[in-house]
Amino acid sequence: QVQFVESGGGLVQPGGSLRLSCAASGKIFSIYSMGWYRQAPGKQRDLVATITSRFNTTYADAVKGRFTISRDNTKDIVYLQMNSLKPEDTAVYFCNGVARNLGGIYNPLFDSWGQGTQVTVSS
């Protein structure tokens, strides 16, 4: 079972930037596609970005052009660089392995989630 520890969140003004990190335990990290999710208060957890083991990426429309997902398989870490942040980006951010189903939709691989890292965008 892989476990995840997210970090790097904080309070930032609109237009600012943050870089989130997700450290994964387990020696087979490099074979998984990875995803960043976020959950705002009272809302469902949404997928915002994915990266495959071959470094192909996808982004939700809401973050496209502003967020960049990357990974370092030598350190078992996946990153989310967030630029031009908006108040609507405020949420707790989580990572997990992901897999695409027959319909092409990414689903989380593991039932166990980390504690997440809080991102608050406010002036």
Query: Residue 69, by phi and psi: left (phi above 0), alpha (psi -120 to 50) or beta?
Result: beta
Does residue 1 have a pLDDT over 80?
no
What is the structure's pLDDT at 2? 80
What is the structure's pLDDT at 91? 98
pLDDT tens, 24-71?
987 667 788 999 999 999 999 999 999 999 999 999 999 999 999 999
Higher pLDDT, 112 or 67: 67
pLDDT-derived band of residue 4, with 50, 70 and 90 as boundaries? very high
Residue closest to 35 by CA, chosen among 85, 109, 115: 109
How far apart CA 36 and CA 69 sit, in angstroms, is: 8
pLDDT tens, 71-111?
999 899 999 999 999 999 999 999 999 999 999 899 999 98
How far apart CA 99 and CA 93 sit, in angstroms, is: 18
Please give the full DSSP string across 8-41, using - where no structure is assigned. --EEE-TT--EEEEEEE-STTGGGSEEEEEEE-T
Please give the full DSSP string across 65-117, using - where no structure is assigned. TTEEEEEETTTTEEEEEE-S--GGG-EEEEEEEEEE-TTS-EEES-S-----E
pLDDT tens, 6-29?
999 999 999 999 999 999 987 667
What is the structure's pLDDT at 104? 87
What is the structure's pLDDT at 27? 61
